[in-house]
Amino acid sequence: MHEKVIESTEDQKYNNIRKMYQTINQLKKGYKHKFNMTRNKKGELAMNTKEKAEIWKEYFEKLLNKIEPKKFLKIGNREINEVELEELTIEDVKKAMRNLKNNKATGTDGIHPELIKYIGNKLLKRIYELVRQIGRRKAYLKNGKKQK
């Protein structure tokens, strides 16, 4: 224990604050043994490696070998299927823009969400048309037609 106190003091001295706090938290909490056991379907504990591997194998096979669910887009409180994108209204886009959160990082396009949120009506129509074009393009490509 004395060694840990000296270690955290040295960490503070050399400005390694993160490591210092990790050591202090470790001292406060004390030693906690980590159990490495897994339960099978019956609720029994599996302790050897082969049993655990089989349990995880079954779990992931069940998880990953499912039929892919339909993808939905969320507009306000309602979910719409991608096919329904043609029915998207300008009010839906306006509401989605209003619901963007403040103080978030830019997207891959480099545009801050707040800029989109407070852009006003001038560019609202252009964003609406862009969203509709993207939807039409996806539907066009989904039907197996060549990309222009």
Q: State whether 60 and 122 are in the same domain.
A: no
**Residue numbers of the domain that contains 27:** 1-32
Q: What is the pLDDT of residues 35-91, one digit of tens each?
A: 777 888 888 888 888 988 888 888 888 877 776 655 555 555 655 554 455 577 888
Instruction: Note whether residue 95 is domain-resident.
Output: yes
Q: State whether 51 and 87 are in the same domain.
A: no
Q: State whether 81 and 136 are in the same domain.
A: yes
Instruction: Note whether residue 60 is domain-resident.
Output: yes
Instruction: Note whether residue 96 is domain-resident.
Output: yes
pLDDT at site 67: 67
Strand residue runs (E) in 16-71: 38-39, 45-46
Instruction: Note whether residue 12 is domain-resident.
Output: yes
- CA distance linking residue 79 with residue 84, whole number of Å: 10
Q: State whether 137 and 80 are in the same domain.
A: yes
Mean pLDDT of 106-130: 81
Most confident range (mean pLDDT) of 54-58, 71-75, 103-107, 134-138 is 54-58
pLDDT at site 148: 47
Q: State whether 94 and 43 are in the same domain.
A: no
pTM of the model: 0.38
Mean pLDDT of 92-110: 84
Q: State whether 116 and 80 are in the same domain.
A: yes
**What tokens were used for 19?**
């490591």
Q: Total structural domains in the chain?
A: 3
Half-sphere exposure of 104 (CA within 13 A, CB side): 15
Share above pLDDT 90 across residues of the chain, in percent, rounded to a whole number: 0
Q: State whether 81 and 55 are in the same domain.
A: no
Q: Report whether pLDDT(16) > 60.
A: yes
Instruction: Note whether residue 148 is domain-resident.
Output: no
Q: State whether 47 and 99 are in the same domain.
A: no
- Kindly indicate the confidence band of residue 141, based on its pLDDT and cuts at 50, 70 and 90: low
Instruction: Note whether residue 147 is domain-resident.
Output: no
